[in-house]
Amino acid sequence: MAPEKAGTAVCPGSYDPVTLGHVDIISRAAEVFERLVVAVVNQPVRKQKTLFPAEERVAFLEAEVGKLANVQVKAFDTLVVDFAREHSATAIVKGLRAISDFEYEFEMNQLNRKMAPDIESIYLMSSPEFSFLSSSGVKEIAMFGGDLGELVPPAVAERLEEAARR
């Protein structure tokens, strides 16, 4: 007998670009929660302008996780806790790759708990094969014509290669 799934969670990020590490975290979170809303931030505060518009990042994710019946992908431009409340989520799910992610995520957790103590932050450790993978690293590899085949979905690799040629 399979364990009962938890309620609703949101999995926020810039997803610029979507990596196979993102897809892995989303797929694993979908196994834990009854409903998972992948929240694509329209314009991240801590990063400069995104390479791809939010609509395209949403489309990339939908193409990859569309087969997961309990996953929705939506763009947002509010506080993540407000977005979570809008979707009746009781948890925010984030992936952690390395200790360098921890400090930022710890700070965000404390701020989110202050604003929304009823919404829990849950962290999934990156699968070993994706522990080195970052969107910024992928963009750099693309800029220099490196192989993206094991880093991002094929449609994302194609768009990154187009962007790098400009």
As a whole number, mean pLDDT of residues 76-97 equals 97
* CA-to-CA dists, residue 127 to 106, 145, 152, angstroms: 20, 26, 15
Q: Give me the pLDDT at residue 46, please.
A: 66
- List pLDDT tens digits, range 143-161: 999 999 999 999 999 999 9
Nearest CA to 111 among 134, 95, 92, 124? 92
Place of tokens 């991002």: 152
- List pLDDT tens digits, range 12-61: 999 999 999 999 999 999 999 999 999 999 987 766 789 999 999 999 99
Cβ-contact 153, 60 below 8 angstroms: yes
Q: Give me the pLDDT at residue 47, please.
A: 63
Specify the CATH class of 6-129 in words: alpha beta
Name the average pLDDT for the chain. Answer: 93
Determine what percent of the chain is predicted with pLDDT higher than 90. Answer: 85
Peptide bond into 154 cis (omega under 30): no
Where do the domains of the chain lie?
A: 6-129
